[in-house]
Structure 1
Amino acid sequence: MNLSFSIKHLFAGLAIAVALSACSSSKKAVSNTSNSANISANKPTTEKKPEPPKVDKKIPFNVPAFAREVKRSTYNVALFTPLYLDSVFATSNDIPGRTMPRYVLPGLEFYEGAQLALDTLQAQGYNLRVTVYDSKGKQSVNTIINSKVLDATDLIIASVTNPDLKELSDFSRNKEINFISATYPNDGGITDNPFLFISNSTLKTHCEAIQDYIQQAFSNKNIILLRRNSPFESRMGADFKAAYEKSTNPKKSRIREVVWNDATTPEELSKYLLTDRTNVIVVTALDENGSKTILRKLGTNSATYPMQIYGMPTWDVFKFKEPELKGLQIYYSSPYYNDKTDYYSRYVSDYFRRTYRARPSDMAFKGFDMTYFFIRLMRQNGVYFNAEVGDAPKVISQFDFQPVYVKEGETTPSYFENKNIYIIQKGDSTDIKMNAVKN
């Protein structure tokens, strides 16, 4: 692999100096279009040699390409992430104010995690030709696609949103290249690409997982769905209803849907609560202000009515420290969980501590996890590893990629999606994993 740049000291609040240099002693110019990634450090160099993959003579998922075993001596990988290099270094190679802009950090941190994974795999003997693209550079993703530089790619890993997601998906489908959407929790309206993997599960999958979890966890429950009267939350309510109808649990309890707004009083909410059993309350609010508004209303009733409150994946980063929320049992769903005690998490943390004197962010862990997981899978099973993804061992977080059929009656997947959803309880100092629910 060739290196055109390495980004150092990513974190805001530190005196950050970004060096764009080659791993060799001679410096290279930074390209606005792409940069070939290669990284060097002391990494573990041993890995248990996998057994030869089983070759399925049939056509997995009704996609002819998946029946082909395509292995190469060197794999071409494209990594897309929003680096904003042209914006940050518009006038010079120095960062204004010596502080990295906050909007740059997620993409840089994802890149640094991926970079460490690539270097680790290279040290284990992987032959990779990796090109890193700045999805927020001067040249758009569409321009990069039209330039034909991606045509020989074997795998695309991207931390992008729409419209870049849709453009890369259309390209991957047309060229039959597996494309990993690593961080965007949405299918972007894509319904026809069996080469697409959505790692950050969609809200529909979260709704299904929460419904499944609460139906299994409580044998005698009063389930209430609290939503606002908006098209978005109405659609989420419909997803919960659909998940309930699909459930085969013989002891499932019906979900009562309650529409609330800012004028709704705690007394009005109490009409739906029971004193003799747990009230399982699902809140569809994604925004912090709306979430805290309804939680304050529920908090008024918490001394009288036992309740457990289940929120959305966005609640992961919310801080529910207000006195009126004290004592509430709050849970949320997440497709990603890292207690940072496993081997790879400690390995990443140690590297970041030695190299950057900082702790890796969740985006850095995800960059490492996605890159290591899928490139290892590709090397073991070939370019079309789709039939084997369900048996792949985890790196940091557990994944459960399943085919999704959006259109009724179709025989080819619309895409593959991570269906492994964790239910996590909010804690005072740390969050606690309750269970992993697979649909």
Structure 2
Amino acid sequence: MISAQNRLPLLSGNKRLLFFTIALLLAACSPKVRPVATTVKKPADNITKKPETATEKQPEKAAEGKVATISMILPFGLEHLNPAQRYSPAGLSKANMSVEYYQGFKLALDSLTADGSNFKLQVFDDSQDETMQTRGLALNPAVRSADLIVGPVFPQSIKAFNAALSYSKGIIVSPLSPANPATVNRPNLVTVIPPLEYHAWGAAEYINKTVKPKKIFILRSGFNQEKDYAVNFKKAIDSLSKKKVKVVTLFVVRGNLSSLLPQLSKTEKNVFVVPAIDQAFLGVTLRSLDTLNKHYPVMLFGHPNWEKFSFLKPQLLQRLQTHITSTEKINYKSGATVTFLRNYRKAYHVEPTEYAIKGFDEGLYFGKLLFADKGVAAINQTDFTGLHNSFHFIKKPALGWVNTHVNILTYTNFELKQVE
């Protein structure tokens, strides 16, 4: 059984279609929940409806009579549904992201009702820029008493929420932000999206285990935004190799790599790590590496953001045997993904986005965990393979649980494909 605080409308960039899409979403959503019009500050009573039997059966039966309460805090920006107000492009993007994540999460909870799991899903609207509203939610008894709090989404809102939250019954999930949990400092926080330092560690583990080089070259631009990756990568290599792998750091000016020539090998792979994200620097430096590659074999490891950069050409990256880390590699041919796509389209009559897929993975993982024998205490003992990424949590003193799993991708036939 799932009961909900309110049903949330599907948003559209076309204002004239807004109310049509609201009606469409209400008609498409699972009949397990009946929408109730509420406000954020004073939630209405939940209205429940007996659930239908889901098609997928779970191996274990939930404890009879137990109801797990989940409070979800997302930036829907519902005040902009007022005809006198309009969504800004940024606000509309946040709202669409929120609806997509919510739909994926709820679809996962619906699937778990097949084993008798009972959920009360309370949904609250929160805006990234309105810290007073965020703090007000932290004081809301309905939020504080939930078995699981999902959200807020953005780092600023997470900080404001946790600063005002003196007590919470359950764990707090940061669902979409890779921000370092040290900026929050809360022992019951769960960071689902691996922070940048774990991308650096993931690359270091792969290099140390698979490539096994004697020397690694870190090419830096000097911009401060690459420091976190570079520092954590070196720390990881030193730890994993027990300082047997030499790390050479070079601040590159105008693509000049001539000072490295005496240290390069013409027969073995020369491993380069480039943590930069500046377009101008990457353009010049990667061309220099391409020239170098004609005489000295190059294997390149880049920043995870490279996956989103259209200015980086796959032909060049493949020649350089480029590897990057990622938390969002989806195999659309797998049976689990095909089933999810079919169920999502049937429920909502739209194509799922990456946020819907993340919502589904997280809803399935935490929904099961709420009914596990050890409950949330088993987070760092319970790995999970999702549609977009896997979960492998470690417990950090005073920082909560952090997912450390990243995928290693490389270019094959000019496409990024998973190698680990």
Q: Identify, as 1 or 2, the structure richer in helix.
A: 2
Preserved contact between residue 273 and residue 305 of structure 1 (Cα < 8 Å): yes
Cross-structure match for 1:49 = 60
Cross-structure match for 1:386 = 377
1:230 and 2:223 are equivalent in the alignment: yes
Match of 1:285 among 264, 276, 294: 276
Cross-structure match for 2:212 = 219
Superposed displacement of residue 289, structure 1: 5.4
Q: Within 1, Cα distance between the matches of 2:257 and 2:17?
A: 48
Match of 2:248 among 250, 256, 272: 256
1:8-66 deviations in whole A, cap 9, x for unaligned? 47689x976431658779874353556979898884252111699xxxxxxxxxxxxxx
Q: Within 2, Cα distance between the matches of 1:350 and 1:362?
A: 15
Match of 1:305 among 296, 312, 319: 296
Specify the code of the residue in structure 2 equivalent to 1:5.
R
Q: Within 1, Cα distance between the matches of 2:120 and 2:300?
A: 48
Preserved contact between residue 38 and residue 130 of structure 1 (Cα < 8 Å): no
Cross-structure match for 1:409 = none
Cross-structure match for 2:4 = 2
Query: How has the CA–CA distance of structure 1 residues 190 and 370 changed in structure 2, closer, same or farther, with 3 Å as cutoff?
Result: same
Query: How has the CA–CA distance of structure 1 residues 18 and 194 changed in structure 2, closer, same or farther, with 3 Å as cutoff?
Result: same
1:287-311 deviations in whole A, cap 9, x for unaligned? 5555444323322322222112111
What is the identity percentage for the equivalent residue pairs of Structure 1 and Structure 2? 19
Superposed displacement of residue 143, structure 1: 1.4
Cross-structure match for 2:134 = 141
Specify the code of the residue in structure 2 equivalent to 1:306.
P
Q: Which runs of 5+ in 2 are unaligned?
A: none
Preserved contact between residue 104 and residue 359 of structure 2 (Cα < 8 Å): yes
1:347 and 2:368 are equivalent in the alignment: no
1:414 and 2:417 are equivalent in the alignment: no
Q: Which runs of 5+ in 1 are unaligned?
A: 53-70, 406-412
Query: How has the CA–CA distance of structure 1 residues 45 and 238 changed in structure 2, closer, same or farther, with 3 Å as cutoff?
Result: closer
Q: Within 2, Cα distance between the matches of 1:381 and 1:92?
A: 50
Q: Within 2, Cα distance between the matches of 1:293 and 1:108?
A: 41
Cross-structure match for 1:275 = 266
1:112-159 deviations in whole A, cap 9, x for unaligned? 211211222234422111111222287721111123331211111226
Q: Within 1, Cα distance between the matches of 2:318 and 2:73?
A: 42
Q: Scaled by the length of structure 2, what TM-score is found?
A: 0.81
Q: Secondary structure at the match of 1:308?
A: strand
Preserved contact between residue 10 and residue 108 of structure 1 (Cα < 8 Å): no
Q: Within 2, Cα distance between the matches of 1:140 and 1:293?
A: 46
Q: Secondary structure at the match of 1:156?
A: strand
Q: How does 1:25-36 map to 2 (within 5 A)?
A: 28-29=36-37, 31-33=39-41
Superposed displacement of residue 187, structure 1: 2.2
Specify the code of the residue in structure 2 equivalent to 1:201.
P
Q: Within 1, Cα distance between the matches of 2:365 and 2:178?
A: 19
Query: How has the CA–CA distance of structure 1 residues 270 and 86 changed in structure 2, closer, same or farther, with 3 Å as cutoff?
Result: farther
Query: How has the CA–CA distance of structure 1 residues 134 and 393 changed in structure 2, closer, same or farther, with 3 Å as cutoff?
Result: same
Query: How has the CA–CA distance of structure 1 residues 10 and 42 changed in structure 2, closer, same or farther, with 3 Å as cutoff?
Result: farther
1:19 and 2:22 are equivalent in the alignment: yes
Greater mean alpha carbon deviation, residues 384-393 or residues 395-404? 384-393
Cross-structure match for 1:206 = 199
Superposed displacement of residue 355, structure 1: 4.6
Q: Within 1, Cα distance between the matches of 2:410 and 2:47?
A: 38
Preserved contact between residue 7 and residue 112 of structure 1 (Cα < 8 Å): no
Specify the code of the residue in structure 1 equivalent to 2:37.
A
Query: How has the CA–CA distance of structure 1 residues 92 and 346 changed in structure 2, closer, same or farther, with 3 Å as cutoff?
Result: farther
Q: Within 2, Cα distance between the matches of 1:337 and 1:49?
A: 29
Q: Scaled by the length of structure 1, what TM-score is found?
A: 0.78
1:432 and 2:417 are equivalent in the alignment: yes
Query: How has the CA–CA distance of structure 1 residues 373 and 288 changed in structure 2, closer, same or farther, with 3 Å as cutoff?
Result: farther
Superposed displacement of residue 368, structure 1: 0.6
Match of 2:234 among 236, 241, 249: 241
1:401-424 deviations in whole A, cap 9, x for unaligned? 01124xxxxxxx422111222111
Query: How has the CA–CA distance of structure 1 residues 41 and 373 changed in structure 2, closer, same or farther, with 3 Å as cutoff?
Result: same
Query: How has the CA–CA distance of structure 1 residues 26 and 368 changed in structure 2, closer, same or farther, with 3 Å as cutoff?
Result: closer
Cross-structure match for 1:402 = 394
1:84 and 2:77 are equivalent in the alignment: yes
Q: Secondary structure at the match of 2:237?
A: helix
Superposed displacement of residue 323, structure 1: 6.0
Preserved contact between residue 182 and residue 399 of structure 2 (Cα < 8 Å): no
Q: Secondary structure at the match of 1:402?
A: strand
Cross-structure match for 1:115 = 106
Query: How has the CA–CA distance of structure 1 residues 101 and 210 changed in structure 2, closer, same or farther, with 3 Å as cutoff?
Result: same
Query: How has the CA–CA distance of structure 1 residues 15 and 111 changed in structure 2, closer, same or farther, with 3 Å as cutoff?
Result: same
Specify the code of the residue in structure 2 equivalent to 1:329.
Q
Superposed displacement of residue 357, structure 1: 5.0
Q: Secondary structure at the match of 2:338?
A: helix
Q: Secondary structure at the match of 1:91?
A: coil
Preserved contact between residue 185 and residue 198 of structure 1 (Cα < 8 Å): yes
Cross-structure match for 2:157 = 164
1:247-292 deviations in whole A, cap 9, x for unaligned? 2558x4211111124x233556656643221111111124555544
Superposed displacement of residue 174, structure 1: 3.1
- CA RMSD between the two structures: 3.8
Specify the code of the residue in structure 2 equivalent to 1:401.
F
Preserved contact between residue 314 and residue 414 of structure 2 (Cα < 8 Å): no
1:330-354 deviations in whole A, cap 9, x for unaligned? 2111234331344442222113333
